[in-house]
Structure 1
Amino acid sequence: MRVSTNWLKDWIDHGLDTQALADRLTMAGLEVDAIEAAAEPFTGIVVGEVVDIQPHPNADKLSLCQVSDGSSQEAVVCGAPNVFKGMRAPFAKVGAVLPGEFKIKKAKLRGEESRGMLCSAKELGLSEDAAGLMQLASDAPVGQDLRDYLSLDDQIIEIDLTPNRGDCLSMAGVAREVGALTGHPVCRPQIGTVDVTSKQQVAVSVADPSDCPSYLGQVITGIDTAAETPVWMSERLRRAGVRPISPVVDVTNYVMLELGQPMHGFRLEAINGAIRVRRAKKGEQITLLDDREVKLDEDILVIADEQGPVAMAGVMGGKGTAVETDTADVFLESACFAPEVIAGRARRFGLHTDASHRYERGVDPELQARALQRAASLIMEVAGGQAGPVTDARSTRPAPSPIRLRRDRLHGVLGFELDKNTVTGMLERLGMAVSEDAEDWQATAPSHRFDLNIEEDLIEEVARIHGYDRIPVVSLPSDVRPGQAPEDRVPESRVKALMVERGYQEVITYSFQPAEADKLLSGGVEGQKLANPISQDLETMRTTLWSGLTATLRHNANRQQARVRLFETGLRFIPQDSEIEQKKWVSGLAWGHAEPEQWDGRTRPVDFFDVKADVEALMQVGGPRHLQFLPERHPALHPGQCAQVWAEDKAVGWLGRIHPQVADTLDLPADAYLFELELAQVAKAELPAYQRVSRYPSLRRDLAFVVDEDLAAETLVATAREAAGESLVGARIFDVYQGKGVDSGRKSIALGLILQDSSRTLTDEDTDRVVSRVREELERRLGATVRD
């Protein structure tokens, strides 16, 4: 919701500056995403009047205009097709600076001097419309600074509302909230009277009142098709993010933004007979305003005439009854539809409209008559016309039940006491009808607050209005007892802490991801499709956490981040026959420089072994473990830089560089490294056990073996351990070499053997026997030869 601070001041004099107002709203649960200016910076532009206009002698499409700035007249060459004598438009005088630092200077255009420029809305950054000059009201004060005339120093507050606060999707709703927070009164706009001067009306019926509790309509005929939306209304629409179109459409959008009631106008001549609100019939179709023809399901609520659907209720109107620029007779609709009947219907057809956004969250069922009167009066004020009688199809609404708020419960949850009159005042400022007795309150929620149903809702409201930042810190009594911490499990918090210690940042991504990207990264696994995704890009339950991590990498790489380290813990959802396997995994991604930039300037890119070290540290967070990194193939990883991770003879995950083709398809850097490990295996901890430390010295023997280049070093070490027996307490690879002195297709691996006995000192003969066994076994089983 985009809120103009100037428009808001018409509703309430809150006495706060823009930043203070944004802070109050955020602390009350209406999170402010951004504050921005209503218009780009420009100077020297005033309201100008075209006092004379003549054809340009040397150009058919140019005009010579005399433009008054209130104190003098200037000759201006103009190419706009809509310029006319008496027109008032933005006039940039010589020396003015337009958006983009474009400075206006004296110029000659096709031989005629021009001292200034008449401006379009696009040139001022106010609209995308560049078809002609921005026409101002005929009574706009000539010579007044345009920024002052249009209040362009206004600030726009963008609020990110949670789904339960649909009541704040309007200026009225935000004003009510600000009034409750500050205690200042809210001033509703005066709604003009609508005199019924026509007998024309459209009959309306509702098939099921539970689908549509309220439906009102009114015919307005004889609208002036040459009328234009006034600048003040166009500006308010623009600042709210809505493009002005025509007076009737603009008024319906304006009332929606002002009061929160979505409205729709039908071209009267296109309606055949009576209107009926009903569910769609099997096989019915409709062509929507965006020219798409859709086949309606039987659970879709429609507005229909005697020939079929003319609108998808609460979502979008049909093209056949759309209001055009030459439409003089309209039927205005003001309705309340049940949220559960509208929810999900728009997304089913790939739609998301301002109306569906509001109806899905709930529209005040008592607002329709007031909104219809407001819309009709504005249309007649702007474009004239005659109004017919209102057609009213409203059902009886059950009286809301009061909610009990207990004093002890309120103070027990908040942790501090509030004066009883203070609480009563807060509830009343929220529009509730409040009664009280010695200890408790009975509060009845207003019709626009669908989210207030139980006692906890009222406690939350009191906390919000009081201010979360003003709640004192107190120690609450608790009988919570510490739980058991098994010694054979490492807490997930320790796993996360280790990743942070190694330079990674935790991210939390959606559990649903784009189907193609997820399938590509998981190696072809088909994920579970969602029946009702929140968007077309988030349609599949993830089968790998890599899909979210790589999307985060792309976002950061596109914003000039040179070093990215990410990890996430979460569930994967793998379809297994008729069920879905859900296991928690920890996944990571590394890209960019191996180390943060520092003073000596030497940097290198992260490589396979950097990430392998991180995986080894992660797998040993619970104590030393025997790990293996076996060269295997994963479709999403580079075939030459990919390993399957094994722990105690069990495959627990993968590690490798992203496959170049996958990186290219997903628009990712080709030198990113990924890993994923089953969290249950990572969190295993070795139980503490006493082991005697040998009193006797250890001996080390270093040997270099020449083996086939495709032999895994792990295989060499494992074979040496088996051959050496119990006296071997350590085996370390300290050198790998290929090149001069080693045959092609072979490599040299240097192995350090550490020998020790717990009962005696080993002799040279003992050591030689062990080394001999190792040599013989490696030669026999692996074809290894001792390097000279």
Structure 2
Amino acid sequence: MRIPVSWLTEHLDIAEDTSAETLAEAFVRIGLEVEEVTHLSSVQGPLVVGRVAEIEELTEFKKPIRYCRVEVGDAAGEQQSQNIICGATNFREGALVVVALPGTVLPGGFEITSRKTYGRRSEGMICSMRELGLGEDHEGILVLPAGSAEPGDDASEIVGLDDAVIELAVTPDRGYCFSVRGLARELSNALEVPYGDPAVRSVPEADGPSRAVSIQDTSACSRFVFRRVTGVDPAAPTPWWMRRRLALAGIRSISLAVDVTNYVMLELGQPLHAWDATKLAGDVVVRRANDGEELTTLDGVERVLDPDDIVICDDSGPVSLAGVMGGATTEIGVDSHDVLLEAANWDPASIARMIRRHKLPSEAGKRFERGVDPAVAPAATEMAADLLVRHGEGIIDAGRTDVGAPSAPAPVTMPLALPDKVAGIYYERGVTARRLSQIGCRIEVSTSDEGVGLVTATPPSWRPDLAQPADLVEEVLRLEGYHTIPSVLPSAPAGRGLEESQRRRRAVSRALAHDGYVEVLPFPFTGEDVLDKFGLAAGDPRRRTLSVLNGLEAERSVLATTLLPGLLDSLQRNVSRGQRDLALFHIGQVVLPGEKQAEAPDVGVTEPPSEEQIAALHAALPAQPTHVAAVLAGRRENTGWWGQGRDAGWADAIRAAHVVAEAAGVELTVTADDLAPWHPGRCARFQVGETVVGHAGELHPKVVDALELPKRTCAMELDFDALPLTDERPAPQVSAYPPVLLDVALVVDSAVPASELAEVVRSGGGALLEDVRLFDVYTGDRVGEGKKSLAFALRFRAGDRTLKQEEAIEARDAAVDAAKKHFDAALRA
């Protein structure tokens, strides 16, 4: 939220010399985060008002270029006018503009000089709002209202460059702070100064409705107000003071009617929508959308509506996406003179879902999804109507529509001494009641039957977040100042170090990082469509998901049952940004609901849950094991002077699993498998004993295409919690005796897995066989059709003596015999 200091202090009885830094410190003191304080007085040198006396259009260039003679009075000495090159076309002869004369330094260190350009000499610059630091509008230069100044006047004071802008980061529970009204009230509490509420204004009685309105779904809309203004001049300009305030708040000026609605929204916190009343057909109905209905919004996009969407309809159907964006058919145009002002109160959760579903964030939606004061709607429409009358020559219609009945805030009762107890300090008598009164609560003090002092606070309509005693305590504490609460650090118990599971997790992270993988923190949610692209069967346990009630993204609103969707999304995003050779990993929890997942009971917050409720809560929790996963794409080894590189392949994904296992101190058994989303012929299953702990390999080509991944992308995922945790840390035994190295090549059926043959050879070789390593695979005429030759390097060693050649040969023959017995293997010559 960006707001100029001059606008904030307009509603406060405060000293004129109060600095922006003082206000920022006051905001911080009561718990609001100030991101930046920007002073506008960064223009140095002569900045004056000029009148455009003559314009010469230079037509020999590809873009519009104007050579202007601008009267600047005596600001430039004896020379009463300056010749200036300008590319903007939104002004004409006689317009008042802001001129930076040679020697002026604009924000950003941009120095203005007299220079030759486009074949003419330019003696200064005609400034836009962005060039003056007043906003981001750069579509045209700043044109001042006629009669507001004379040529040669100092423009700094006229455009308000002595002002400052405070930018705040407003938390979701303080929606009322998205307005000057709310922020000024907070400052009055922090600085203990009088405050004038801009929403307190006379709202005259209405002579009938402006237009008949029916609310079919009161859960979607609790109040709806219409106020009509006729005879508005469509060409009436927005007054400079309003354009300036909107620009400093980050909102671009569009037209008087639209600017007025934005101005009132910033002032009171109530978003408004302006309709062209002549384009509405019949009565207005507020309801949920029907499945399949369509609406073309103001941005020209035709949107398919969801049954959860709230829409405003006339006889033709939906004409507005409530609280998010209006429809194109009722838009205020260049000839609109009959304006219908709408102020409504929408269900915050529904608005939040609509914004994410249609990807339409807006200033209005930002306020509606946090909750808007339902009592301010009539005052907001009345203020907007008065502004249209004052600046657009409109006439307020006698009728006003006001339907709906917002629920009154529920009173909250708490002990008067509860803030003292929570803070651990003693507050003076009357502090609790005074502070709660300052934020707008209606206070009643009483005594319980036990003689305990109680305070009952009825929250104001703009504070829907005050729903329990803890909320009231927070208000008292923050207004008294968090700095007054003593900070007492608890004494640290004697440390026991990291748990074994924590040490193992860190060891695995380090091992993968040392192997060239980069750890990422992917988005923890996924969508059902991703599971479809994975090709998971209908009964696959990974399809049993839990949906988030208010997901951050409508397309990804279920808890992930596997780490691969998030990792692959991170990989694809990196690829789209120019990265080609990637190796990413993540260690995190997945959520695996059971076939019949119990529902969690609502235990409330007024008293501790019972043992039965705690047991029910634990029973409702789904399994949340920790997994470790890795994905690879591109080159695994780069080409260089050291030799030819290679692409990442399925063997690298299997190697990643072994890296995890080695760091965890376990041994994996690897066998071939067929499991989505991996390629059927390039998928490995990992087991520890009889327990399947994960899979790795190359992803299926259909999955790669569906997710727009690089060709031959590989992935690995292990159930980290399924790996046995052991405290054993055996020291490596290094023999001082030399080994005997022998090779053996065995011919077996092509379907025999190399890992299983290696395991049989290892067990057959006995205690003397120290290591078995596959170094060659051959298929061809020399071994026959349907056969393959697997060559192993065997390392024999005795721990207590020098091994004889004959002993090693005998152990090798035993290993070969075991292979013959299990797989009908033949020794290849």
Query: Structure 1 length as normaliser, TM-score?
Result: 0.77
Question: What residue identity is the alignment partner of 2:459?
Answer: A
Equivalent-residue separation in structure 2 for 1:706 and 1:621 (angstroms): 31
Question: What residue identity is the alignment partner of 2:141?
Answer: L
In structure 2, do the counterparts of structure 1 residues 746 and 186 end up closer, same or farther at CA, with 3 Å as the change threshold? farther
Contact 2:203 2:379 in 1 (8 A): no
Equivalent-residue separation in structure 1 for 2:191 and 2:581 (angstroms): 46
Q: Which residue of 1 aligns with 2:606?
A: none
Contact 2:49 2:155 in 1 (8 A): no
Match of 1:334, SS state, is strand
Q: Which residue of 2 aligns with 1:135?
A: 143
Q: Which residue of 2 aligns with 1:257?
A: 266
- Aligned-pair CA distance for 1:581: 9.1
In structure 2, do the counterparts of structure 1 residues 66 and 199 end up closer, same or farther at CA, with 3 Å as the change threshold? farther
Partner of residue 460 from structure 2, selected from 432, 446, 454: 446
Match of 1:228, SS state, is coil
Give a deviation string over 1:216-259, Cα, whole Å, max 9, x none: 33222222222111333233333434332110111111111221
Question: What residue identity is the alignment partner of 2:725?
Answer: A
Q: Which residue of 2 aligns with 1:513?
A: 526
- Aligned-pair CA distance for 1:261: 0.6
- Aligned-pair CA distance for 1:74: 0.9
Q: Which residue of 2 aligns with 1:323?
A: 332
- Aligned-pair CA distance for 1:413: 4.2
Aligned: 1:86 with 2:105: no
Match of 1:367, SS state, is helix
Partner of residue 725 from structure 2, selected from 685, 697, 707: 685
In structure 2, do the counterparts of structure 1 residues 82 and 453 end up closer, same or farther at CA, with 3 Å as the change threshold? closer
Give a deviation string over 1:432-458, Cα, whole Å, max 9, x none: 233445643322211111111111222
Give a deviation string over 1:677-705, Cα, whole Å, max 9, x none: 123313x335889x9x99x9999654322
Give a deviation string over 1:88-108, Cα, whole Å, max 9, x none: 123243455678877655455
In structure 2, do the counterparts of structure 1 residues 57 and 467 end up closer, same or farther at CA, with 3 Å as the change threshold? closer
Q: Which residue of 2 aligns with 1:427?
A: 436
Partner of residue 66 from structure 1, selected from 69, 84, 88: 69
Q: Which residue of 1 aligns with 2:235?
A: 226
Q: Which residue of 2 aligns with 1:487?
A: none
Q: Which residue of 1 aligns with 2:53?
A: 52
Output aligned runs, 1:61-210, within 5 Å.
Answer: 64-70=67-73, 71=75, 72-78=80-86, 80-94=88-102, 104-106=112-114, 112-121=120-129, 132-138=140-146, 139-140=148-149, 142-143=151-152, 149-151=158-160, 159-189=168-198, 202-207=210-215
Q: Which residue of 2 aligns with 1:551?
A: 569
Query: Structure 2 length as normaliser, TM-score?
Result: 0.73
Aligned: 1:705 with 2:744: yes
Equivalent-residue separation in structure 2 for 1:732 and 1:39 (angstroms): 74
Question: What residue identity is the alignment partner of 2:764?
Answer: A
Q: Which residue of 1 aligns with 2:298?
A: 289
Q: Which residue of 2 aligns with 1:750?
A: 793
Equivalent-residue separation in structure 1 for 2:457 and 2:569 (angstroms): 47
Q: Which residue of 1 aligns with 2:771?
A: 732
- The answer for unaligned runs of 5 or more in structure 1 is 481-489, 596-600
Question: What residue identity is the alignment partner of 2:98?
Answer: P
Question: What residue identity is the alignment partner of 2:688?
Answer: A
Contact 1:518 1:544 in 2 (8 A): no
Compare 123-132 and 407-416 and name the one that shifted more. 123-132
| Overall identity of the aligned pairs, in % | 29
Contact 2:257 2:274 in 1 (8 A): yes
How many correspondences in the alignment? 766
Question: What residue identity is the alignment partner of 1:459?
Answer: V
Q: Which residue of 2 aligns with 1:485?
A: none
Equivalent-residue separation in structure 2 for 1:429 and 1:175 (angstroms): 12
Equivalent-residue separation in structure 2 for 1:650 and 1:389 (angstroms): 78
Match of 2:374, SS state, is coil
In structure 2, do the counterparts of structure 1 residues 738 and 513 end up closer, same or farther at CA, with 3 Å as the change threshold? closer
Contact 1:227 1:382 in 2 (8 A): yes
- Aligned-pair CA distance for 1:627: 1.1
Aligned: 1:567 with 2:596: no
Equivalent-residue separation in structure 2 for 1:41 and 1:659 (angstroms): 59
RMSD, aligned CA: 5.6
Equivalent-residue separation in structure 1 for 2:113 and 2:480 (angstroms): 56
Contact 2:667 2:688 in 1 (8 A): yes
Contact 1:267 1:327 in 2 (8 A): yes
Q: Which residue of 2 aligns with 1:647?
A: 688
Give a deviation string over 1:104-123, Cα, whole Å, max 9, x none: 55455676543233345577
Match of 2:242, SS state, is helix
Equivalent-residue separation in structure 1 for 2:154 and 2:535 (angstroms): 61
Q: Which residue of 2 aligns with 1:483?
A: none
In structure 2, do the counterparts of structure 1 residues 108 and 258 end up closer, same or farther at CA, with 3 Å as the change threshold? same
Match of 1:423, SS state, is helix
Contact 2:592 2:623 in 1 (8 A): yes
In structure 2, do the counterparts of structure 1 residues 607 and 304 end up closer, same or farther at CA, with 3 Å as the change threshold? closer
In structure 2, do the counterparts of structure 1 residues 281 and 131 end up closer, same or farther at CA, with 3 Å as the change threshold? closer
Question: What residue identity is the alignment partner of 1:332?
Answer: L
Question: What residue identity is the alignment partner of 1:568?
Answer: I
Contact 1:339 1:359 in 2 (8 A): yes
Contact 1:172 1:259 in 2 (8 A): yes
Question: What residue identity is the alignment partner of 1:627?
Answer: L
Equivalent-residue separation in structure 1 for 2:307 and 2:698 (angstroms): 50
Aligned: 1:626 with 2:656: no
Give a deviation string over 1:655-682, Cα, whole Å, max 9, x none: 3577899778767677986431123313
- Aligned-pair CA distance for 1:424: 3.6
